[in-house]
């Protein structure tokens, strides 16, 4: 969607403009953290340590979000204008990078407690899904993440709404599985990342007006194109997340009493 009459600013405080994009991102983070910290009460863990771990995970997630955005959309900044990389308010962030870097940072801090790591990662899914949903709405106000033009009568693909709907699907799926099957530790997170990669790679990237790499195919009638950089990364991401989701079903991680990890999960069906 390209709506030039929309202002990216919600309001101004003197010379400083507050972006809708930033407001939506903050709301998603707060909503996700609220759910996460509510569920963390089920674990017998030091809340101060978990708060510190969460803080550094968010920081590295933001770094990863910017790095992947630049690599996927404007890699020329690296050698032409490196300072532009630091201007996070110009260009945007990539949720794939946020999840990837954030997960790695979180694992490095909790690798000695696999059950705690897996269970908490499950509880991050609602926050991740809300972030995808709300940040894509923010992209509409920022006039970015545009879809390709088509000849089908509706002009440009509403790429932001396509991306936002992916977040909504992941959110509904999470709570459906929570109510229906009580999945083992780790399954919710890895399976959500698997389906995110499927939906993003097949639908989001195909209709999004992104640069193409190595293979350059564009159908101007349908307004689709491939292969983008993120689509090249989709197969290995699917292989890894699919394996981890399968493994979480087959190798149930038991909480260890010496780690104070809470109640054991139900056996995988």
pLDDT in tens, 106-127: 999 988 889 999 999 999 999 9
- Residue 200 has a pLDDT of 93
% of the chain with per-residue pLDDT over 90: 48
- Residue 89 has a pLDDT of 64
Number of separate domains in the chain: 1
Task: Specify if 154 maps to a domain.
Answer: yes
Low-confidence ranges of the chain (pLDDT < 70): 89-91, 254, 256-269
Annotated binding-site ranges: 136
Task: Specify if 248 maps to a domain.
Answer: yes
The CA angle 211-7-200, to the nearest 5 degrees, is 35
Task: Specify if 240 maps to a domain.
Answer: yes
Task: Specify if 265 maps to a domain.
Answer: no
Task: Specify if 194 maps to a domain.
Answer: yes
Q: Are strands 16-19 and 212-219 parallel, antiparallel or unpaired?
A: unpaired
Backbone angles phi, psi at 224, to 5 degrees: -120, 155
Which distant-in-sequence residues (6+ apart) come within 8 Å of 46 by Cβ? none
- Residue 132 has a pLDDT of 92
- Residue 263 has a pLDDT of 43
Record the pTM: 0.84
Q: In which domain, by residue range, is 156 found?
A: 9-259
Q: Which residues make beta-bridge pairs with 226? A: 217
Task: Specify if 268 maps to a domain.
Answer: no
Alpha helices in 8-46 (DSSP H): 20-40
Task: Specify if 253 maps to a domain.
Answer: yes
Task: Specify if 227 maps to a domain.
Answer: yes
């Amino acid at each position: 969607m390209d709506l030039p009459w929309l202002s990216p600013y919600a309001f101004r405080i003197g010379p400083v403009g507050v972006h809708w994009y930033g407001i939506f991102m903050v709301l998603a983070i707060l909503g996700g953290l609220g759910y996460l910290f509510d569920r963390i009460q089920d674990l017998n863990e030091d809340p101060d340590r978990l708060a510190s771990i969460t803080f550094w995970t968010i920081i590295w997630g933001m770094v990863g979000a910017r790095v992947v955005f630049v690599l996927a959309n404007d890699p020329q900044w690296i050698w032409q204008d490196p300072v532009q990389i630091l201007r996070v308010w110009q260009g945007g962030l990539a949720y794939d990078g946020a999840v990837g870097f954030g997960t790695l940072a979180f694992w490095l801090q909790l690798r000695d407690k696999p059950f705690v790591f897996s269970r908490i990662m499950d509880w991050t899914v609602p926050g991740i899904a809300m972030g995808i949903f709300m940040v894509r709405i923010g992209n509409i106000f920022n006039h970015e993440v545009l879809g390709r033009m088509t000849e089908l009568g509706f002009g440009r693909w509403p790429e932001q709404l396509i991306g936002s709907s992916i977040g909504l699907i992941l959110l509904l799926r999470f709570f459906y599985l929570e109510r229906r099957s009580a999945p083992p530790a780790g399954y919710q997170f890895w399976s959500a990342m698997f389906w995110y990669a499927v939906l993003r790679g097949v639908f989001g990237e195909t209709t999004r007006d992104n640069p193409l790499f190595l293979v350059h195919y564009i159908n101007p009638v349908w307004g689709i194109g491939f292969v983008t950089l993120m689509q090249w990364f989709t197969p290995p991401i699917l292989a890894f997340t699919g394996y981890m989701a399968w493994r979480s079903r087959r190798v149930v991680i038991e909480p260890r009493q010496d780690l104070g990890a809470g109640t054991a999960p139900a056996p995988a069906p």
